[in-house]
Amino acid sequence: MSIKPIKSRSPYLVTWHVYAALFMREFTARLTQDRFAPVWLFIEPILHVSVMVAVRNLIGRTRLVPGADFIPWLVVGVTTFILFRTLWNKGMTAITRNRTLFSYRQVHPADTVVVSSAMESKLQSIVLLMMIGIFTALGFDLIPHNPLGVMEVWIAVGLLGLGFALCFSVLVTFFPESAKIVSLISLPLYMLSGVIIPIQMLPHSIQQYLLYNPMLHAIELIRGDFFATYHMVRGVELSYVYEWAICTILLGLALQVRYKVRMISR
Amino acid sequence: MIEARNVWKRYHGPFGGDWVLKGLNFQIPRGVSVGIVGKNGAGKSTLLRMIGGMDAPDKGEIIERCRISWPIGLGGGFQQSMTGRQNVKFVTRIQGGNKYVDQIIEEVQAFAEIGKAFDQPIATYSSGMKSRLAFGLSLAFDFDVYLSDEATAVGDVTFKKKATKAFKDRIGRSSLIMVSHQVKILRDLCQAGIFLHQGKAIWYDKLDDALDDYYESIGQKPTHRKKKNQGKYAHENLDDDED
């Protein structure tokens, strides 16, 4: 009457099955959340960017950015930062949200974080393409001058977000209060990454400290790849972003291995 | 075969915790169904969770050389906004049954008998419907060992019978590890017994002996009538108020 079990799967195949199943589940869950969900998925980030652009355009004073138009410059920065922030925030809570799934022994806590990050980065990539489409149609110059470079930075930001998600998900699972602190520091980080204020305007003595922030590097670099004439902040490097990404991912994976049993049994 | 080697377990609460299980040693042979008995808080559910891989011992190890189910009837993994069908598909994919999705859906549907609700979100289900679905889902897969934590106690009378029958059909192919306070069900489905007492596990080849010692430890006589049939725990000798 019941089916024959598959004899035994290799660990890699099990992981692949879990990833595929979780991905489809997460996606269906997002789409069936409420009636508005399928639209909201894309409208939300677009609205966010539009509001930022509108506010900044109406009340901002410094509209002069060296080597780029102000609005496309802002759109690229905000979209890139949102990719990072969404990966971080959603991935951070993935373990808590999916706690009940750990009764299936194939599902590990790290899987939920990885899948959540993969899905969010897919959605955000679609958002980026939509932004390029919308703003180009509105007459702004938002066609990347170096598309491969854009992809390279975009992937780096995705990996950085994954690394942060892996580390912080362990923290948030044991100390739920820390989620509040994370949302608290994400606003200053928004400012310090040069998303809405051009860092070039700041004195060099401040710049050299701001350059410790990998998101500043990423955002400047992706702008440099979008606009041919853009003058990036001096000292930004792609390898710095990748170093951060690799270190946080490795640290995150180590934490996931160390605390796996305690996270499952909570 | 499942083997526990010097298994110790304590709770890591905010106030520390005492050892609940203090060095368990036992072997459950292939094909033998076991009932776990003991007082409340003796660690029965904890032991079951550890066998199911949802928890790990603090010391010692549990060696498993077979496919073990998740605790039967555990509907925890259901996503509220998704339909029953979508949830069944998800679990099937995790278990690696991609090729058999249709077959499993059919089987779960037949077992759960929840009709049209199968295509409606889990959030609209009653608790009985949820446990029917969860139960059907566990039984749709062929495991060597099923775990059950008071799970047969759910649902109405006809469903209870169906569940018990489903277990009986599987004897020979698969076995069962069961935590329950209902002597009738234990007696129906299990041959051997484990009695958890003061942090130790005592293995009994016969469930009746485990029940004897369990009742002795709580200072009660089992509520059975005068001997009519083979043993004092036989079905006919038990009072109905047992469950």
Q: Does ipTM top 0.90?
A: no
| Residues B49/B227, Cβ–Cβ less than 8 Å | no
Cβ contact A24–B90 (<8 Å): yes
Tell me: domain B1-67+175-233, CATH 3.40.50.300, correct?
yes
Q: What is the mean pLDDT of chain B?
A: 82
Assigned token pair, A71: 């609005």
Residue B75 confidence (pLDDT): 64
Q: Concatenate the DSSP letters of all residues of B186-202 into one string.
A: HHHH-SEEEEEETTEEE
Contacts of A2 in chain B (CB under 8 A): 107, 139-142
Contacts of A261 in chain B (CB under 8 A): 55-56
Residue B55 confidence (pLDDT): 85
Q: What is the mean pLDDT of chain A?
A: 88
Cβ contact B142–A14 (<8 Å): no
> pLDDT, tens digit, for every residue of B107-134?
888 888 888 889 998 888 888 888 888 8
Spatial distance between the Cα atoms of B168 and B161, rounded to a whole number of angstroms? 11
What are the backbone angles phi and psi of residue A141, rounded to the nearest 5°? -90, 95
Amino acid at site A220: E
**Mean pLDDT throughout B46-56?**
87
A3 three-class SS: coil
The minimal CB distance from A17 to the residues B53, B93, B104 is found for: B93
Assigned token pair, B13: 């609460």
Confidence bin at B219 (pLDDT 50/70/90): confident
> pLDDT, tens digit, for every residue of A149-207?
999 999 999 999 999 999 999 999 999 888 888 888 888 898 889 888 888 888 888 89
> pLDDT, tens digit, for every residue of B63-97?
988 888 888 877 667 888 888 898 899 989 888 87
The minimal CB distance from B97 to the residues A3, A100, A262 is found for: A3
What are the backbone angles phi and psi of residue B195, rounded to the nearest 5°? -110, 120
First to last CA, chain A: 36
Q: What is the DSSP letter of B17?
A: -
A98: nearest CA in chain B?
B77
**Measuring CA to CA, how many Å separate B103 from each of A1, A2, B68, B116, B142?**
10, 8, 21, 18, 13
Phi-psi region of B60 (alpha: psi -120 to 50; beta: other; left: phi over 0): left
Confidence bin at B223 (pLDDT 50/70/90): low
B9 touches chain A (CB under 8 A): no
B159 touches chain A (CB under 8 A): no
Instruction: Give every strand in the sheet of B2-10, ordered side by side.
Output: B19-28, B2-10, B59-64
| pLDDT at residue A103 is higher than 60 | yes
First to last CA, chain B: 31
- The number of C-beta contacts closer than 8 angstroms across A and B is 88
| Residues A207/A190, Cβ–Cβ less than 8 Å | no
Spatial distance between the Cα atoms of B82 and B73, rounded to a whole number of angstroms? 18
**Mean pLDDT throughout A93-109?**
88
Residue B242 confidence (pLDDT): 45
Domain extent listing, chain A: 11-265
Q: Is the dihedral of CA A107, A27, A245, A84 positive or negative?
A: negative
Strand partners, B62: B4
Spatial distance between the Cα atoms of B122 and B115, rounded to a whole number of angstroms? 13
